[in-house]
Amino acid sequence: MNRPAMRRAFFHIAVMTMGALALHISQTAHVHVHARSSASAFEATLSAKERKAFNAYFTAKTFHAADKDAFWSKVSAKRKKRRAKIRKGGLVTKRDYVTSFPPVYEGPKLSNALARKWKAWKNRDAKPGKPKKRKGLPGVSDFLRYAKKYYGFVPERIPEREFKRRYARDALRLGLSKDQVVRVYALETGGNGTADMQAGIHPISKKGRPISSALGYAQLLNANSTTELVKHGDEFLKRLRRMRDATTSESRRASLGRKITSLRKMLRKAKSIPYSWGRHRKFARTGPGLGIHALNLDGDIGPWLQVIKLKGIKDLAVRKGRPDIDSTELELMNLAGPSTGLEMMSAVGLSMPTVNFFARRGYERNSVVRGRTSTELLAELKKRMDYNSRNKGAKVFTQVFDELIADQKRAAR
């Protein structure tokens, strides 16, 4: 290590507590061991001037990475203690939160030419014409494949406007407002979402690649589908049976009968998993779990599954003393998780940085969340809802709600 790097190291030592120092050294060593060998080999190809510049950059980057790791370890430790405190009914104060944002890299940078050399060196083993294949996340085709494989389930795909109509009808029945549903849809899907929209895939062009399992108008995660099925699956089955008994169409009766059989298999499998969010997340990444996620695509089950998830969020808000929750607050609870969203809207939580409420990976990948307090995030959500509500899908959804509300008023006369 050169002298400037050593001075920076000693400066870090001087300002850190012993506990943080131990963590810092451990994490720095971990990063350095895995990256230093490649960096050393690369340095051997450089001129003396380039080596000096690269060494300063690499050392600073190593310390910065360790600083970020230490920061997120502190966030995790605070969150763990805070949640235990909340479970016991304790009073949460500002001291229970991290009040800053992740450290920003302000060290030396590589010149464009040297940065290109470093990038080429790291990619030197890649074969020309054959880029390294990235392992992608499961997509809609996988949900469909696993649904058929494990449960014999093939979701009934219906026209988009009809899907919206069924969604709106169920929402009104459950006491959700037009404003709540349409604006959540506008935020989650950009105001143009389709029933089969997955996060990372453009709903119109279908370009992109999945960045999460979030699916549909409310962007349910695969684990959400499992949890909602366990909670409401028996009612889903009763509903399908009522629909089957009410129809005179033989083909429709047969279709609903197949859905009932498949849903029964799904429910039995989902209930065999211990009821906890962690276990549901783990199960949801398996073939049988991914197959359950395909329920969101079905014209009979999908709207109900997503609406009842939003209804559950609203019910929790009511139980916690927030009966007049608006669309932005509902979306915050949908985005961060119901209980976390409520914590963010508490008197102390509103002024806290969002790092306290999201996992590191989710925070770093979500531009809406990054660098904001809870209050600032609420303002940004409202701004985006306002803007996205002008898009075609949101306008159609609004029209569908207006038609159903007008029908209800006429029927009540």
- CA 25 – CA 38 distance, rounded (Å): 20
> Which residues of the chain carry a pLDDT beneath 50?
1-32
Task: Specify the pLDDT at position 268.
Answer: 98
Burial class of residue 9, CB neighbours in 10 A (0-12, 13-18, 19+): middle
3-state secondary structure of 208: strand
How many CB atoms are closer than 10 A to CB 292? 32
What are the contacts of 179-182 at 24+ separation with CB within 8 A? Answer: 179/326, 179/327, 180/310, 180/314, 180/326, 180/327, 180/330, 181/307, 181/310, 181/397, 181/401, 182/327, 182/389, 182/394, 182/397, 182/398, 182/401
Task: Specify the pLDDT at position 123.
Answer: 85
Q: Are 213 and 293 in contact (CB under 8 A)?
A: yes
Task: Specify the pLDDT at position 133.
Answer: 54
